[in-house]
Structure 1
Amino acid sequence: MWKLYALLSAIFAALTAVLAKVGLKGVNSNLATAIRTIVIVGLAWGIVAVTGELKGIRTLTKQNILFLTLSGLATGLSWIFYFKALSMGPVSKVAPIDKLSVAIAIVLSAIFLKEQLDWKTILGASCIIAGTIILIR
């Protein structure tokens, strides 16, 4: 099931780039990011409320809160830089560079989470990097 969710994530991420590029016309990228964030906050809390998962807030540990907060800060900075890049460059060049995050995440997962990398993962990350270089030149 996780593969379906990952594919849906990729589809919606692609839509994000195209829709944002249209929405950014004549709008400051930071303002656009703030508007997008409000929508996401409402959507996320709405899903939590409708699915009855709000009670899980009591089970959060200090470590959960710390790392989810840090992840939120990283997400916010990613979005700010992504929208700035989209406002200045073509989606066909910005999106592939943004997707280098996949290869970077693989490296970081090996370093910090001690995940084992097999030859297929290393080859795939290398292809992502090579593909990005080809697409942006």
Structure 2
Amino acid sequence: MGWMSWALLSALFAALTAILAKKGVAHVEPNLATAIRTTVVVVFAWAIAIAFGRPHELGSLDRKTYALLALSGIATGLSWICYFRALSLGQASKVAPVDKLSVVFVLLLAWPLLGEQLSLGKILGAGLIAAGAIVLAVLP
């Protein structure tokens, strides 16, 4: 499978995440819900890494790689904590589109931090995503 297939599957599972999390967070404090979910993700991720990855490479990774992955993990954790809090307070159909503004932030941050080019198409697409998220989140 190519990147598009994986990205579409990611979107599908993200949608299921929103629906299942909204139902799950209804009867539990959002930070505890995040901790439960994160525990499942950790166990699942290690099972996949061991079954299909190369866990023996752990010793060959440099400090910069570990640091970047650790910072990414912290960002993920903060994102999930905020997402679950938002889901506990708002409708999933409004929270999820705002969360997808991450696409716009990626485009804006990938330009200076990763050297990715901004094109008219990317700027227009980001504008449409932002407008769509605002419409979905604000209008009844």
Output the TM-score relative to the length of structure 2. 0.95
Q: 1:95-114 residue pairs with structure 2 within 5 A?
A: 95-114=96-115
Which residue matches 2:95?
A: 94
Unaligned runs of 5+ in 2: none
Which residue matches 1:119?
A: 120
Which residue matches 1:4?
A: 5
Pick which of 21-30 and 44-53 moved more: 44-53
* 2:13 partner SS: helix
Q: 1:28-43 residue pairs with structure 2 within 5 A?
A: 28-43=29-44
* Deviation, structure 1 residue 59: 2.0
Output the TM-score relative to the length of structure 1. 0.97
Write the distance in 1 (CA, Å) between the matches of 2:114 and 2:49: 28
* Aligned Cα root-mean-square deviation (Å): 0.8
Write the distance in 1 (CA, Å) between the matches of 2:53 and 2:69: 20
Write the distance in 2 (CA, Å) between the matches of 1:49 and 1:112: 31
Write the distance in 2 (CA, Å) between the matches of 1:36 and 1:28: 12
- What one-letter code is carried by the residue in structure 2 that aligns with 1:49? I
Pick which of 114-123 and 64-73 moved more: 114-123
Q: Percent identity?
A: 53
Write the distance in 1 (CA, Å) between the matches of 2:98 and 2:131: 11
Deviating beyond 2 angstroms after TM superposition, the runs of 4 or more aligned structure 1 residues are none
